[in-house]
Amino acid sequence: MGTYRLITWRINQLLSWPAINGFPPDALAERTLFDAASALGELSENELALLGTMPEGTQEAIRALLHQNVTREQPMEVQFAWIPGYAWKLTVSEDYPARSGEGHPGSIIVLLESPHPDELLAAT
């Protein structure tokens, strides 16, 4: 489980507030989530291989959510979390600024559920 925890920690650093204000919107435009992650250079080869096991629809949903967010006038912080599960599942929750505290743009929580990374990599 450590692999997903490390990936989510690294991604959360890039997408935290106020760091997300400097995230380049074109990094997510007209490319796959895998290509965007590769271009950012923040993940290892093993972590990219694991990301590549994610179903394409799930990758596109995450990419579209991130792209829409970083192109907002005031991007929200994005936090990822992972839990083990039988199949892939994606849950997204938004906390609007009015409830996040003064000066904070709000946040998006992305909960990703999937089989254990060892099982996914062994199947490829």
Higher pLDDT, 89 or 117: 89
Q: Cα(93)–Cα(105) distance, rounded to whole angstroms?
A: 14
The pLDDT value recorded for residue 102 is 65
- Short-list 104, 99, 107, CA closest to 77: 107
Check if the beta carbon of residue 77 is closer than 8 Å to that of residue 16.
Answer: yes
Check if the beta carbon of residue 71 is closer than 8 Å to that of residue 25.
Answer: yes
Average pLDDT, the chain: 79
Which class for 97: exposed (0-12), middle (13-18), buried (19 or more C-beta within 10 A)?
middle
The pLDDT value recorded for residue 109 is 92
Confidence at 89, pLDDT banded by 50, 70, 90:
very high
- Mean pLDDT value across residues 5-22: 75
- Short-list 76, 56, 57, CA closest to 68: 76
pTM of the model as a whole = 0.80
Confidence at 119, pLDDT banded by 50, 70, 90:
low
**Percent above pLDDT 70 for the chain:** 81
